Structure 1
């Protein structure tokens, strides 16, 4: 009678060993990389650069970019938060995770994800159409002080919308917001002259600036940037300090096994700091600023605190 329980115990132990080996052998298949935005924006573009570089670092396995736009990134973020925590579903993570959790009836929050890596910190810029009526930052400020300026955003409660709200509050400006469903549509609004100005990240703006579609009125950073050396900082023109930007990183669902997390962090660190990836990002106007999972978590917590201070502005914005 005692033989049967012993055999069962052996089988169970074998199963546990098999599970441990599975984690140690990660990865064994392609990885879904969920971009919670429509194709054409910076998160999508940088995600595809990561996907191109992934097979070299992930033993020939690829990152399969899957766009899941909708709800200001809620659909894609919800999908990842509910996915198995096995390392085969990753999220292109931006501050929209924080914004959505604080402003919308979503089923997730920061604790629903495992931050793995930050790869880009992108300063904000104020832009207008090349042939727009606002010739420079001072004209923009004068118009927004005396009347109002129409502002295109990639969506309600997105980081660019929050940036505009914060600046309006700090400087007493009047903005009328035209919310789009993607960064690509925001750009079309600007280029078509349907709005007077917009807030974007520098990386998103570089291409349209170079092809003559839009102009940068000001850089929302502490110093000029060599990607757009002619663009003045906000502080240069006004004497007032105002810095804001966006970040791009990678996260998995919460509950990721420690050994898989360590393996993922190591491989992502290798990919995101490789000379080829850094060069390709730079050519596209994005500067790599790599941080591991712990440092990324600290940034997320700081951003959440900042967002809580801005939250009352979102609640009263029309």
Structure 2
């Protein structure tokens, strides 16, 4: 059956009694597509949710990693799926910019998805190896200026939020930076630890185990205030970079047309998990702050961000060609 006819068929079926269907949902396994590799912060939180939802829904909840394409590969699977709630997308802040960078993208990141729930606000940190000569951000900036050679900074893909953070840092510091894209932030971090790139932007959740084990050093945190798990690390805002003040988010989306009662059930069940004290503590230990806004508020936030991403793409003349 063609995708459009499939969507229409589901829309008709759900219209019969959406509340009744939502009450009995799910009646079969649910899969969550994650457009990133194993080992990343989004991967860990998605698998935690899947484990808890398994118990709550009494159905298997399977996480599928589909990295690459700045989230496009995984997102397209969900955009084409039946709008019944059985295929979900666990994604992050870069989701909203793909159509701006890749006009040939066969889906719209806003209109082809239904916002379900924002899971957490995230914190981002700039890290270097523990044997790096740079102990502070200012030392790094001064060192790069003296040597006259660009600073290589790893990120999780061309056009990703971490890519833009590198460019904004370079602009604000007056240094040349070379953003180095990877198929996931865990790969960026491991390559940095291996000596293939000098620094890396990573979510605090991904970097924190390596920081605690002494493999890497955090120079600054991108967040409105200091991280509760890295209290001794200054924010970029404190260090004079006002454009590097907001972190990011992780959230769950469904195919457009998914019935609201199903979306509401998924959101309510996920938020009840996020409120559990042990889950809240685990998230905060990863530098993640649970959020509890409505699906509608999450969707409006995504739309506003897309406008801001478009401005940044034009300002820095980002092109993937």
TM-score tier by shorter-chain length is 0.7 to 0.9
Partner of 2:43: 44
Structure 1 residue 314 displacement after superposition: 4.8
Comparing 238-247 with 227-236, greater Cα deviation is found at 238-247
Q: CA deviation at 1:246?
A: 1.8
Moved more, 197-206 or 246-255: 197-206
Residues 92 and 249 in structure 2, CA contact (< 8 A), matched pair in contact too? yes
**Alpha-carbon distance between aligned partners in 2 of 1:33 and 1:16, rounded to the nearest angstrom:** 24
- Distance change >3 Å, CA 316–CA 159, structure 1 → 2: same
Distance 1:290 1:101 in 2: 28
Whole-Å Cα distance in 2 between the matches of residues 292 and 280 of structure 1?
23
SS in 1 for 2:134: coil
Query: Which structure 1 residue ranges, 5 or more long, are not aligned?
Result: 1-12
Measured after TM superposition, the shift of residue 196 of structure 1 is 1.4
Deviations 1:8-62 (A, max 9, x none): xxxxx9997577743442111221010111111111111111111113332x123
Contact kept in structure 2, 1:190 and 1:198, CA below 8 Å? yes
Q: Give the structure 2 partner of residue 138 of structure 1.
A: 138
Q: Which residue of 2 aligns with 1:303?
A: 305
**By how many angstroms is 1:128 displaced?**
0.6
In 2, Cα distance between the equivalents of 1:272 and 1:290? 9
Describe the SS at the equivalent of 1:80.
helix
Aligned to 1:106: 105
Q: Rg larger in 1 or in 2?
A: 1
Counterpart for residue 120 of structure 1: 120
Deviation by residue 1:172-207 (Cα, 9 ceiling, x = unmatched): 321012221222210111111221111112222211
> Distance between the aligned counterparts of 1:195 and 1:52, measured in 2?
35
Report the TM-score when normalising by structure 1.
0.88
CA RMSD of aligned residues (A): 2.4
Number of the residue aligned with 1:201: 203
Aligned length: 305
Does the 8 Å CA contact 1:162/1:314 hold for their aligned counterparts?
no
Match of 1:61 in 2: 59
> Does the Cα contact within 8 Å between 1:165 and 1:314 map onto a contact in 2?
no
Query: SS of the counterpart of 1:164?
Result: helix
2:163 maps to which residue? 161
Task: Provide the C-alpha distance between the structure 2 equivalents of 1:14 and 1:210, rounded to a whole number of angstroms.
Answer: 52
Distance change >3 Å, CA 18–CA 225, structure 1 → 2: closer
Alignment of 1:70 with 2:68, yes or no, is yes
Residue of structure 1 in register with 2:84 after alignment: 86
Q: Give the 3-state SS of the residue equivalent to 1:315 in structure 2.
A: coil
CA distance in 2, matches of 1:203, 1:19: 38
C-alpha distance in 2, partners of 1:122/1:215? 19
Three-state SS of the structure 2 residue aligned to 1:193 is coil
1:240-270: CA deviation from partner (whole Å, max 9, x where unpaired): 5631312100110000112222222222222
Give the stretch that moved more between structures: 217-226 or 74-83. Answer: 217-226
Aligned-partner Cα distance in 2 for 1:14–1:316: 43
How far apart in 1 are the matches of 2:145 and 2:232? Answer: 25
